[in-house]
Structures are given as C-alpha cells and as structure tokens.
Amino acid sequence: MAGHSKWKNIKSAKAATDKKRASVFTKLIREIMVAAKQGGSDPAGNPRLRTAIENARAVSMPKDNIERAVLKGAGELEGVDYVETLYEAYGPGGVALMIQALSDNPTRAVAEVRAKLTRGNGNLGTTNSVSFLFDRKGQVYVAAAGMDEDSAMEKALEAGAEDFAKEDDTYVITTASADLHKVKAALEAVGLTATQAELAWIPKSTVRVEGKDAESLVKLLEALEELDDVQKVDANFDMDVSAMAQG
C-alpha cells in the first residue's frame, strides 16, 4: 500500500495553509452532501454519512457547516447535485492514478483533470485501464501514541482488520471495503479512536520513482487535488518521502 500511504505522508509533512484548509472543507462538505443524498440524513443509519461527519469534525469543521451540508444533501435545503466519477490515468514514471471526483459539472471536471494531467506529463486512460492494479479497501487511521504496536495490532486483528502497519506516528488499519464501518466501531470500542477513516484504492504492487519523475509526480498529484472537483487521488508509487516532503 506504499503509493497510497506515502502520498498521505508527503501531504501531511508539507506545511498547512489557509487555502488548503478551505479546500479540505470544500471536499468534506461535498462528501457529506452526497452521503446524505444517497443514504439519508440520519448518521446512525447511514455509515458513509457518519464517517464523513467524523472526518469533518476531526479537522475542526464548524458544526453549522456540517449541519447545512447534511440538510442540503438530504434535500431539506436547496443545494447542488454532485455526481461521483472515477478517472483512471497514468502519471510520470508510469505511475497509475485513481482520481475520485464529485462534481456538479462532469464535463468541466474531466476537462480540468485532463488539462492537469497533460501539463504534468500524464495522460487520462479509459475505464479499467489501471483499476486492475488496485484493490478497493477500507482504511482506518489511529494515532499511535498511548498504545504499543503489538497491543494495537492484536486489537485491530481481533476487530476484523485485514492488515496493520505503523507509519510514523500513525497506525494504518486496512479492512475489506464492506467492513470499514464495522471494524472502525469495533476498534473504538477497545480504545483505538480513529483520526480518519476512508475507502481507498490500494495498489497491489508499486512503481519506484526517483529524481525528476518523483518531483513531477508530486507536483501533478498536488495539482489534481487542488481542483475543487477532485476528492482524492490514489497512486501506485514508491519514493523517498523525506526528500519529496520538502519539495
């Protein structure tokens, strides 16, 4: 899972800015709206919405913003209708990209994604051109402080996790996609509180990138995720995180 986790590590190592914080809020609000639209406005009966709200709270999104997004998604307030789209692409060094988008204008979204890829030495692929290189999995992130790794691993496996890894100061717990919310609840019941939970495209194997290709790839990933319509990008690369995080 190096490509997915390393990209998260690179992003977290870079200094946060107000612009990036606003972008995170925008993406979370869209996820809340889509989750409420698809599964209703009650988080207790809508696991996707419950997770989206918890992720929003984890980054200190104001309660009013969350409540408005839920009401808009459920149709109780006037809101925008967002469409989910998955783009498959290749980036520098032959790295495969899975680009998840939520947009009120899919025509605009694909044009902007294609433009970023072209400028970043990548290209947009067709459906199923790279998805076979990934597995759809759930991932739960837990702060490592306060529990030793062996104990945390034991609790994670007992909760139904498929895999467990420690990355810097975080435990990354991987689940079957259908088990994400069940495992997250089981983890929290035994004292492993999630800082974030999500469905991700986890690479089956990785492509090592270095030098100019690595620099170009990080710039492309950043450019894609700066697009309002793009929720997140998963990729199958491996690189020196410490060097790239300073770029």
Q: How many domains does the chain have?
A: 3
Among 73, 100, 117, the domain boundary falls at 73
Among all chains, which residue has been given the structure tokens 């783009």? 87
Pair (58, 167) in one structural domain: no
Pair (103, 51) in one structural domain: no
CA distances from 156 to 5, 164, 219 (A): 18, 7, 34
Structure tokens at 34: 């889509």
Instruction: Give backbone dihedrals phi and psi of 169, rounded to 5 degrees, phi first.
Output: -105, 25
Q: Which residues contact 196 (CB under 8 A, 6 or more apart)?
A: 55, 58, 140, 141
Pair (191, 158) in one structural domain: yes
242 within a domain of the structure (yes/no)? no
Among 45, 73, 101, the domain boundary falls at 73
Q: How confident is the model over 16-72, as pLDDT tens digits?
A: 555 576 788 999 999 999 999 999 999 999 989 999 999 999 889 999 999 999 999
Pair (128, 233) in one structural domain: yes
Pair (11, 67) in one structural domain: yes
Q: From CA 156, how far away is CA 140, in angstroms rounded?
A: 10
Q: Which domain holds residue 194?
A: 134-203
The CATH number that applies at residue 68 is: 1.10.10.200
pTM score:
0.85
Q: Which of 115, 110, 103, 139 is closest to 127 using CA atoms?
A: 110
Which range among 12-16, 27-31, 136-140, 225-229 shows the weakest confidence by mean pLDDT?
Answer: 12-16
